[in-house]
Structure 1
Amino acid sequence: MAGFKSWAEALAARGLGVRAWLAGTLVLTVTVIFVLVGGAILAYRLPQIERNTRAELQTRAQAASLQLGQFLTAVELAPRHLVGAAATAGAAELPALANRFAREGDLFDAVYLLAANDRVEALGLPSGNQALAASLVGLDLGRSAFVRALRARVGDDAAAPAVVWTDEYLSVLSGTRAVAMGLRFGDRIAIFELSPQRLLRILLGDGAEAGLGLVVVDGTGHFLGASQRDGFGWAFDDFRTSPVFKAVLQGRPLPASIAAEDGRRLLVGAVQVPRLGWVIETIADGGMAHESYRATVWMVFAGFCVALAVALLVAPFSAARMAQPLAEAAATAHELALGNFGVRRPRRRQVREISALLTDLDRMALSLEQRQVQLQHTADRLNAVIELVPSVAIQWYSVDGRVVYWNAASEAIYGFSRDEAMGACVLERSLMFADSGQAGVFLDVLAEVDRTGRSFGPADFSLRHKSGREVVANCVVFAIPADDGGKIFACIDIDVTERLAAETALRESERKLEAIFESSPAALSVSDMDRNYALLAVNRAWEAAMRRDRAQALGKNGPEVGLWKDLQVRERFVEQLCSPARRADMEVELLDGDGRTRLMHMVAQVLEIGGQRLALMSAEDITEARRAADEIRLLNAELDARVAKRTAELGRVNDELERRLAELQLTQQQLVQAEKLSALGRLVAGVAHELNTPIGNGLMAVSTLQDQVVRLRADMANGLRRSTLEEFLTQVAQGSAIGIRNLGRAAELITSFKQVAVDQTTSQRRTFMVRELVDEIVLTLTPSLRRMPYRIEVELGDAEAWMESYPGPLGQVLTNLINNALLHAFEGREQGSIRVGCERLGPEQLRLWVQDDGVGIEPDALGRIFDPFFTTRMGRGGTGLGLHIVHGLVVGSLGGQIDVDSEPGRGTRFTLTLPVMAPLPAPPSTRPQPL
């Protein structure tokens, strides 16, 4: 309807009559109706045609896949008799058997028979090229993924082995991609190679029907073949990015259409061949290129043309019948508009709308009255808007300053309620005015507006809130008519307190920035890029560096001031500044006010402020620095000869130092090995001493039992009494218990010693429980501790903590730390304790610690305790290698870190942070080691 209205208004603007307007309306109506109906037909029918076409294409693709599958089934049956014959044939018969099969079937390009070791045992070729076949016999195909897949198939029936297909096969003969079929029978494998062209001929044949294309793509997206390739614009061979190919592999619905290289819209159907993984796509033209689609469009267009022709013939006659009564009604309305209400009304017509028009003319007077009511409603709404505006305070005053109206915003801004303000005179109660003097000024303003009739303001006034705080208001005062015909005065106030505070802060910020700009030690300038880089501002440092007065430089650019020594350098600087980086950084030669050349380091940055492009430039005088650099380069040139001489001397000294270092490293290794053997020796001595007691007790118990046996035999010869037998049995039980207990203790000590000794002499990686390792270490150290007044306490927070690491190095670390505490921590003390603890830090790390309550370590020695040969007991049994070995084992073999915390008089704590899975050892280096 909006379109009809705009069209009708256009006709009326051109002065057309009612008849022409009605005729055009009828023609336009018929046109619009047919466009809607025809569009609906096309919107329903055209998608239906494309859906049917896509369904037909999908059916064609499935039929092609079924055809190829039937052919592959037939191909699978062909080699059955070859497999049966090869299973019983000897090695000498296989070449002839493979050649005969390759020539007879005319299916395969090559037939391979592989032995159990995956080497070619026989090769059959259709051409019978024996020389080529002989050259490939013995070739190892074991690394082929296809051969490995065949070897992985176990349990195949030798009489009917399963067939494996692949299209990812690289032909040994041609070096190109091929399709392969493989069978495993017994320990042998048969591979039948087909070229993709053979299978494509099955699908494509001599061509395809007109309007239908067929494309074959392998499982990796490579183009294999197509019918009517040129007709459908396939100019590429890689389908990996094709949406149809992706949808088929991912099992998603196919796209409705795709675009050809020449821009045509194509409909597609696609299916994947189960055995080979190939994708077969069927293609047909879509849109106007499709025959049914094009025919439907032309039929609708022809119907539209016929309907339009009929409308053009019928519309003038219908318009003439309708125009006459409308013209009479228009004449009557014109007379009524002129005030001639006695004009004769036209007689009623059969058209209801025309009769309604005459009735509406009579109701026009009533409509005017209703309009007046609507105007009153509009005034009420305007009053509501004025009352509810939250940020504009509106007051009405009489000429003597008495409040007539006070809106809600006035209450919010000044704090006085409507009841407090209404009827109050500003001279009697100043309200938001500071005092009666300010109220008197306001009354003068009202008198001036009353006298001149002109409005006052806007102007800012400092008023006050009811609470006493200052309110800055922007005020406008003007006169409006009163209900009694006089005047009342409207005052509109806007609170600008916050705005003025923000403006003041902004001005203060600008003053600070200007002070910083002027006080900067760098020579700064600001140029207008749109005015050929005319200087807008420079600071005092710029005046001092350039020896120029700013009054003479402002408003001019560099060449006008005479700054640039070479204008081509300026052009390069400007080009760099106008680059996308919007920054320039160069060393340039400038002329100061005295005409001297100064080497300057110029840095510029583009800024956009308020739509204006500005260039902020900083200049640094590097003339003296460059002169000093040149002098340094000359000095360096003189020093080169001295350096060469000293280098040769240092080379000789380095050679001597490397020789001495190699000797020291060898000595260190020997001392480390000696330290390990010494620790193991001390361990052996302690365990031997500890074993002496349980073995001696066991020996004593056994010898006592032997004496009891001799005595029992003597009693039996003289006559055995019951009491004697009971006494013997009691003594045997006691002696056996003593012997078993002491021998078990000895066996436990020997087992722990053997495990610790093996771990400390080897670096075997294994999985172990941390508690078991700590218990074994403590058990082996117990004999030594029994001779000392010290004790070891084990605190394992996680009893199930385990590690896959090197127990030998870890045990040696714990042993060295405990022995180090026994040797150093309790010197001069009669008692002390050593605590060994463990806790998990997460799934991949744990923490071990060894802590004593001894004398601690002095601060000056704390940072050197891991250095080789550093000891506080030099000459008293200390070698200085114990903690050095500990640090090397923790950081190296165990892949962790060690930390020490100590205070004199409060003990020492060594903390090991270790990974649960120790790092694998690095491969042995081929670098020669120092002798």
Structure 2
Amino acid sequence: MKAPRALSIRWLLVGQFVLVIALSVALVVALTLFWRLPLERERQHHEQQRMATVVVQQLQDLLNATELQLEMLRAASPGGPIQGKRVDPLVRRFAQQLVDQAGTFQAIYWVGPDALVLDFVLPFALGYPTTAGRSGADLSNLPILRLTAQGEHPVWSDQYLSPLVEQPVVGIALPLSNGFMVAEISVQALVTGSVEWGQRGDLLVLFTDSRGELVGSPDPLDPLHRRNIAHLEPIAGALDSARSHGRIEHQGKAFEGYAMRLDRLGWVVFAGQPLERARATERAASILSTVVVLFAIGFGLLLNLLVATRIGRHLRRSVDYSEALARGDYEATTPRSRIAEVQQLEHSLSQMAQEVRRREQQLRAIIDLGPTVAVQIYDRDSRVVDWNPASERMLGYSRAQAIGKRPVDLYYDTQQQADFEAILERIARTGEPFGPFEGALRGADGALHWIYSTTFAIPGQQADEVRFVCMDIDISEIKRLEAELRSLNSELEDRVQQRTQSLEQANNELQRTLNELRSTQDRLVQADKLAALGSLVAGVAHELNTPIGNALMATSTLQESLRQFRERLQQGLRRSELDAFVQQVGTADDIATRNLERAAELISSFKQVAVDQASSQRRRFQLSELVHEIVLTLQPMLKHSPYALEVEVPAGIWLDSFPGPLGQVLANLVQNAWVHGLQGRASGRIRIEASALEGEQFALSVSDDGKGIAPHLQDRVFEPFFTTRLGQGGSGLGLHIVHNLVTGVLGGRLALESSPGQGARFTLTCPLVAPRELVQGAAPVGSAAP
């Protein structure tokens, strides 16, 4: 392909400049008439508008600063400036410093919700002796207060005569939680600076209030005469539409400028230049444009030739420098130019050279200083081109010994060399890296080294040259550890097998021991039931002895009376003796009948309890009757003890359940309270309570006021064979049987509440209808076959 014709940068720039100048000259005449002069007038308008904006901005900045100072003053007290009917002294002190230092404030005062002045501060340097009695003044007619009361933000006012200092001021009022804070600023202080600034720049600056009355003018008498200029065109336009351009006659001179309205105060600011000065710029613009164009043509042509020559010279230096960098000559002198773009190009070339050199040094450091990664670089003939220190340490060959040799000359055998050359050919063909893979080779000392290797291609120094990088990690130690681990795993498997056999034997021994413990537990449960049965029989015999003995005594006495009556009947019977005999017969009959009925009641209750506990049959019964029967069986145990048994079980709680297990639970809980809770005390109380619950359930509790159960023992009281009276008659099965009966047969739950010295309460919560599937095929825990 034929290369395009090259042009020097100098002639290219000169040709472009001539073409631009020719077009520019053709356009200048038309643009001067139809664009330059109108544009100059527009520029003059913009300049006038800018000057007016500057004046407005000066006033705005002053208002903003004033507003910020008052906001800071309002926030100086956490509870608000007005506290009750007085002003926070700290706020008042800050306000006094503010009016003394700012120079613009005429007064700051605080007004209550009733529009009465609570307090005020005035500039110390001025002093207003006539204001001493202004505290308490009524400012309800002040318009700014009425506007502030309608919102939550600061409100500015137009000029008014201050009720405190009797000077023209503008005010700002800030609403407070319990009143207002008002600051008054001198009108003269607001406008004087801007008016004087305008005079220094040959600029007329006028200020009017919202009614068009002059409040600021170069003539100090204008505000005093209260001159109104609202009829002038720019002032009237600004009052209507915020800004307006026009002319004003002032003191016999014409001024042209902009009038702008200040929204916060409603004032109008006019800034204008003398009319002859405004028109002079248009005339000068026409002349200047012509002169500048002619001068620019000549000077630009000459300057363009010089610049083009200089740029070309610097570009040639940059080209020479880049060619030196491409050759690897990083020490070449960096060119220096004062042309920004060329200088940036030279700086970029220098940074590129430094970055390339730094990366080469980094790569060299990685290759040379890597402690564990051996790096070798090979050419297409598999000859060593580079050899880092890690390769020397791993393989035992120095860099000087390895450079220029092939692996077969160092550490590979013939077959490994052939495989390695095939790998290099494959990488060169596909461009894809090979590995990582594990391999073995022998070092200079003849020892076998296991390596973890990866091989990939990199560009060579020439465009079509390819080099191959081989990175190796010595994993000989890992291989040794793997062998040791395999050996250790084999030993561990043997140990685990032996330990498993030992555990099986131990499990068998534990199972036999567990079976023996269960058998022992069953025997202990049976013995405990037999002991309870013996205690029941003894109690029955004791309870029956009294009523039967009384009945026997009554019948014996009746027999003796009958024998005596027969003897008297043979000797002759008096009426009184017959009456006495009849009375004795009635008394004996009554005593015998009552005691035999008592014995029959006891026998019936004992029989029902015995039948329930022996059969564990399900039936429908009333809870109060079952509790009454159990209490009767426990009377022999508690009759001669100092402990009282109280029962509070309402009638009407009907159960479809197992009275035998429930009675056994109740008896065991009462005996547990008597033996463990109250034993050894001079007095005590055992209380049985019951109540119906929601959800078809009932609660039955047995409590005592004994010594209680320690917290660390409460979780163990239901464990089998756990007792605090070991060797004193306690088997440790009572509460275990109770827990199993409640949670198993009765389908409920058992809870314990106790504190040391405060007694204990066992509460069982069970359904009114016991679950049926829990009793099928097995007797309840703690029962014995008849």
* TM-score, scaled to structure 2: 0.41
Higher alpha-carbon Rg: 2
Q: Which has the higher contact order (CA 8 A, sep 6+)?
A: 2
